């Protein structure tokens, strides 16, 4: 029995040595293929992961996890993070990345991509002046029409040019009405979830196919209000730009002694164009500026057009009103806006909500034949499907992100940013994103004063987002090793949404220094 056991042991040892010998003599290329087959079966295809990313993923995960666990402002909040390789689209890190969160203005990333895809970078908005009768002896015997087709960049000086062109065409009197036509879009002025408190400010301005901006920030449907202190005890001086009698000012504010605390509130009474200024302003304070939305932007544009006609010496006998232009009206002039490629700069850099909602309605009008929020959002969903996104996990309520009912997982945001890199308009798109630490306003935009400490070795181009209790930041980061990563950071349920900015900057800093 003992001899039999010894023989079995010897046989086993010889068999193991034979297997080792055979393995060592397999050609190296066959070994590699066998190893790759095993990795592919286990979902470990390393060929799709950049070498540096593969080496550092473990370190990155540890650093980010450690930071998220130690950040006190995240206690009780929800943060979703998605980080991808820009080269392959592979996820390098994720945390709550498939959780639907309120994106705030990161919603504009979806709106801009859809607009470029459907309307095109060269798309412009048209404004027309038409006549509905014949001209004889300097008099137009009929109505004059001002027809808007969505341009959010019209300025007061454009109306002065219109009036001059009308005069040069031989019209100095109108025996009829002056009619503003905004029927290019529907008459739903605000997106479904906009709250009353936001309606009074420029970022909640009403959407109309005929509107006007006070300056080249292009906050359409708004006026600029300036509050300049007087002597202590006196009311401050209030000026409105552009000059218009469309708004009424109620000033109950008071100038107080220099060095005291400023406490000025500028508001607009809901459903009216009464702008109120309350509180106190120290005598040594610089003028305070506030951009306030008007009620009914079509009538506001008509008011400025009427003023331009008067200044040009053109009179009329009929009424000033809104209506629809007849099909047989003759065009006197047609004004084209800047192309979408240029509009994207103030839209995305300055996070202009009115531009976003206008583009939603424009997409609905051009693609579906109806300039409405409903049809425009349908177009966006169709485009996102084309980009490979899972629209079944999204809830889209507007184009700007001001709604607290929008819901998007961070993984879908980063997926969008990866997918659009192949589009012909991608260069235009990424050029519109704010650049961290860039001094020029229309370069840095909402990231002008952020992440300046990493700007020398990393370039961050990203869209910010802020609404009540929400902060977000999504975009592209070029690291010191010249590798590009895509990131999306969305934070909800913050006690103070401003705390989110520091959290986002810290996460991006970890990425930049990885």
Active site residues: 105, 108, 351
Task: Tell me which residue has tokens 């065409």.
Answer: 169
The SS3 of residue 189 is coil
Q: Are 151 and 291 a contacting pair, CB within 8 Å?
A: no
Strand partners, 267: 276
31-46 burial code (b ≥16 CB/10 A, e <16): eeeeeeeeeeeeeeee
Query: How far is the CA of 277 from the CAs of 223, 289, 402, in angstroms?
Result: 14, 12, 25
Task: Tell me which residue has tokens 């999504």.
Answer: 474
Q: How far separated are the first and last CA of the chain, in Å rounded?
A: 65
Q: Give the whole-angstrom CA distance, residue 328 versus residue 163.
A: 22
Two tokens, residue 174: 């109108």
Q: Are 212 and 337 a contacting pair, CB within 8 Å?
A: no
Q: DSSP letter at 391?
A: G
Residues in the chain, total: 514
* DSSP string of 135-173, one letter each residue: EETTEEES-EEEEE-S-TT--HHHHHHHHHHHHHTT--E
Strand partners, 370: none
Q: Are 415 and 386 a contacting pair, CB within 8 Å?
A: no
Q: DSSP letter at 69?
A: H
344-377 burial code (b ≥16 CB/10 A, e <16): bbbbbbbbbbbbbbbbbbbbbbbbeeebbbebbb
Among candidates 293, 81, 334, 69, which has minimal Cα distance to 190? Answer: 293
Q: Are 507 and 81 a contacting pair, CB within 8 Å?
A: yes
Parallel, antiparallel or unpaired: strands 248-251 and 274-282: parallel
């Amino acid at each position: 029995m003992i001899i039999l056991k010894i023989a079995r042991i010897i046989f086993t040892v010889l068999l193991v040595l034979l297997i080792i010998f055979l393995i060592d003599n397999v050609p190296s290329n066959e070994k590699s293929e066998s190893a790759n087959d095993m990795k592919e079966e286990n979902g470990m295809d390393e060929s799709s992961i950049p070498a540096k990313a593969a080496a550092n993923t473990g370190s990155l995960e540890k650093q980010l996890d450690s930071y998220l666990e130690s950040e006190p402002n995240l206690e009780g909040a929800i943060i979703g993070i998605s980080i991808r390789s820009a080269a392959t689209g592979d996820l390098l890190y994720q945390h709550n990345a498939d959780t639907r969160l309120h994106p705030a203005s990161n919603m504009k990333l979806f709106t801009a991509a859809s607009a470029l895809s459907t309307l095109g970078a060269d798309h412009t908005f048209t404004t027309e002046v038409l006549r509905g009768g014949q001209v004889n002896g300097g008099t137009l015997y009929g109505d004059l029409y001002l027809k808007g087709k969505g341009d959010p960049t019209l300025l007061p000086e454009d109306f002065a040019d219109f009036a001059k062109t009308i005069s040069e065409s031989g019209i100095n009197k109108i025996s009829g009405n002056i009619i503003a036509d905004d029927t290019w879009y529907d008459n739903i002025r605000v997106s479904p979830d906009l709250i009353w408190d936001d309606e009074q400010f420029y970022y909640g301005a009403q959407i109309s196919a005929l509107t006007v901006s006070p300056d080249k920030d292009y906050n359409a449907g708004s006026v600029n209000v300036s509050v300049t202190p007087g002597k202590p005890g006196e009311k401050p001086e209030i000026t409105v730009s552009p000059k218009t009698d469309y708004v009424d000012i109620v000033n109950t504010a008071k100038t107080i002694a220099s060095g005291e605390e400023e406490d000025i509130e500028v508001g607009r009474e809901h459903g009216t164009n009464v702008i109120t200024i309350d509180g106190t302003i120290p005598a040594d304070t610089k003028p305070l500026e506030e951009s306030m939305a008007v009620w009914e932007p079509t009538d506001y544009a008509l008011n400025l057009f009427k003023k331009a006609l008067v200044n040009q010496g053109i009179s009329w006998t009929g009424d000033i009103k809104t209506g629809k232009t007849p099909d047989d009206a003759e065009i006197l002039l047609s004004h084209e806006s800047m192309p979408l490629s240029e509009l994207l700069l103030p839209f995305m850099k300055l996070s202009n909500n009115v531009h976003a909602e206008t583009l939603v309605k424009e997409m609905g009008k051009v693609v579906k034949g109806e300039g409405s929020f409903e049809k425009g959002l349908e177009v966006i969903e169709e485009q996102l499907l084309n980009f490979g996104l899972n629209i079944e996990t999204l809830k889209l309520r507007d184009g700007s992100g001001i709604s607290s009912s929008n819901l998007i997982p961070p993984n879908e945001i980063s997926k969008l940013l990866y997918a659009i890199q192949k589009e012909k308009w991608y260069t235009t798109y990424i050029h519109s994103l704010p650049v961290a630490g860039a001094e020029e306003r229309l370069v840095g935009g909402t990231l002008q004063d952020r992440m300046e400490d990493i700007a020398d070795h990393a370039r961050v181009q990203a869209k910010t987002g802020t609404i009540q209790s929400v902060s977000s930041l999504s975009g592209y980061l070029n690291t010191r090793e010249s590798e590009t990563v895509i990131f999306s950071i969305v934070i909800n349920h913050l006690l103070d949404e401003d705390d989110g900015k520091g959290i986002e900057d810290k996460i991006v800093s970890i990425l930049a220094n990885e």
